[in-house]
Amino acid sequence: MIPESFIQDLLARVDIVDLVDGYVPLKKAGANYAACCPFHNEKSPSFTVSPTKQFYHCFGCGAHGTAISFVMEYQGLGFVEAVKELASRAGMQVPESEGRSFKDEKPGQTRTLIEIMARAAQYYKDQLKASPRAIEYCKKRGLTGEVAARFGMGYAPDGWQNLQAVFPDYDADELKVAGLVIENEAGRRYDRFRDRLMIPIINPKGEIIAFGGRIIDQGEPKYLNSPETPLFEKGRELFGLPQARQALRETDTAIVTEGYMDVIALAQNGVGNAVATLGTATTATHVTKLLRQVDRIVFCFDGDNAGRKAAWRALENSLEALADNKRLAFVFLPQEDDPDSYVRTHGKAEFDRLVAQAMPLSDFLLRELAQRCDLTSSEGKAQLIYEAKPLLLKLPTPLLRLQLVKRLAEASGFAQSEVERLCELKSYTPAAPPKAKRPQHSLTRNLLRLVLHKPQLAAQLQIDLLPDTPERPALIRLHELVAGASKEATSYAALRERLRGTPEETLIESAASELLGQPFDEAESDTEFRDTLEKLQEGDHKRAFAELQTRVQKLGVAGLTPEEKQAYIDLLANRGNRS
């Protein structure tokens, strides 16, 4: 049996939007993401994924569930196999039985690490406000307080064990696992980040998962990132993505740079749609993540040899994530510039012009291949097709691939059909399986929807007030699960997995799907919850009064027990107060 705590950690680690988008291209639709359902044939999208609640629902066929359910249904796996599949993606090892420990993971560890990172970030922020030297450095870089606040910037003061002021248990394993401290060979601990401007790295859920540190003045290394941890995997995360969301929607373009100071400088100068990779080459995961939100990505690199190499790696790693309705392009800055220096020297309008006129992927690909081959010789033309073959095979876009094949045929002297044959290009067709189910409304239904929107409310339910409706067993079950549970165990996804196979499962799925169709106001949910409980209490009083009235009519007041008489008097008084 897989421990419940492991399931919670796994669901906290896996982002369902990333997962589903790896199988079905998702498109932003308000607060959620939408696509044509992979579980039945349809022409218009009715399949919705909620990033905040971490579940999917199809309004066409009723398919519904968490990341685990999706892998089970899409790949036809059993529960245990699906958990193992997801765990391997997340770099986690599934424990074989309750009580057995597993590789560097502990029950609830993900939530603990997130809380530790948040506390460290607050400490660094406080230190920035208290350090004239760090503030002066920010001013010298042209950074305002507004942009520093937007990116949550802070300062790690010089010194070996400053974090001991925040974490009295400085020897706790979690500080090392989170990458905040280093242990030398002698077993002595010290802070990883010292005398650095600190920039938090935030995941799509808004949680701090790592830090980047820029040295103040001179020193090496100039930039220092958190190591990879259970929270942070460089190849999956992009710096500045949460802050760029609005600008990405407005421009439908993402600018990818190589450093977080580039992103911050661009934002300071009015270019808000930039993100950065974190000490690694652009990966297919990075590109997929961005193409889910925009139709165009522009890579912005230095114009030197290193910049061209980085651009080529980005191209190679991007090809598999492309679609015919998406575009990739490249900007190469003058050798003496990076995006930070360029936008400060030339301004936003000039930088925007470079982005608008960026070199399309197809032009860059063909230009680079042509520069590697001598196209005046037969050998060079053959080499051109040889070099192009692995790139063409990666492309899942029939239309762009056809255009490239035509241009390669012109450049090489081969016929188009010969290029296709030599490159072993085959047409590609996707496939999809089936499934079926469907949704229904009362005070208890509204209560259920409110509890699923904000599961912590289930602990406040007054079970004795709940009338005998179809929702009553589900509300009781949720109350039992949430009362006394940790915050991590009360997310919708965690609760949904704990309800797998129970009689209440279908009703809860149906109510949860209504959250996707109607926007909820977070601030008003508590008030609505209290109002609904009050209405139920009123109904309970009316029922009790009606029953006592019936007894009084039959037996007279003298026929009531002392308790019933007191209840009857109290109910009469309540009715009098309300009239």
Kindly report the number of other CB atoms within 10 A of residue 143's CB atom: 20
Structure tokens at 346: 């030339």
Per-residue pLDDT of the chain (579 residues; tens, 9 = 90+): 688 888 888 888 899 998 998 888 898 888 889 998 887 777 788 899 998 889 999 888 788 889 998 988 777 666 787 888 888 888 888 885 443 333 344 556 777 898 999 999 999 999 999 999 999 999 998 899 999 999 999 999 999 999 999 999 999 999 999 999 999 888 899 999 999 999 999 986 678 999 999 998 888 888 899 999 988 888 888 999 889 988 988 899 999 998 889 999 999 999 999 999 987 889 888 898 888 778 899 999 887 788 888 899 999 999 988 888 889 999 999 988 889 999 999 999 999 999 999 999 999 999 999 988 888 898 988 999 999 999 998 888 888 889 999 999 899 888 888 888 888 886 434 444 444 333 334 778 888 878 887 888 888 887 877 887 888 888 888 888 888 676 656 788 888 888 887 888 888 888 888 777 565 566 677 787 777 777 776 665 566 556 666 766 777 766 667 776 666 566 566 655 554
pTM (two decimals)? 0.62
Nearest CA among 450, 505, 494, 531 for reference residue 108? 494
For residues 246 and 318, is the Cβ–Cβ distance under 8 A?
Answer: no
**CATH topology classification for 4-89:** DNA Primase; Chain A (3.90.580)
DSSP 269-337: TT---EEE--SS---HHHHHHHHTT-SEEEEEEESSHHHHHHHHHHHHHHGGG--TT-EEEEEEE-TT-
Q: Which fold has domain 443-572?
A: DNAb Helicase; Chain A (1.10.860)
Q: How far apart are CA 159 and CA 257, in angstroms?
A: 32
**Class of the domain covering 109-225:** alpha beta
Q: Where are the domains of the chain?
A: 4-89, 109-225, 241-365, 443-572
Interstrand relation of 296-302 and 189-191 (parallel, antiparallel or unpaired): unpaired
What is the CB neighbour count within 10 angstroms for residue 165?
11
Nearest to 213 by CA among 202, 223, 227: 223
Q: Which of 3.20.20.100, 3.40.50.1000, 3.40.1360.10, 3.30.1390.10 is the CATH number of 241-365?
A: 3.40.1360.10
Rounded to whole angstroms, the Cα distance separating 348 from 351 reads: 5
Residue 179 and residue 278 in contact, taking contact as beta carbons nearer than 8 Å? no
Two structure tokens written together for 414: 């081969």
Measured CA to CA in angstroms, residue 362 lies from 93, 396, 408 at distances of 41, 14, 11
Cβ within 8 Å of residue 237, ≥6 positions away? 201, 203, 209, 210, 278
Crossing angle of helices 4-13 and 109-129, rounded to 10°: 50
d(Cα 554, Cα 176) in Å, to the nearest integer?
Answer: 75
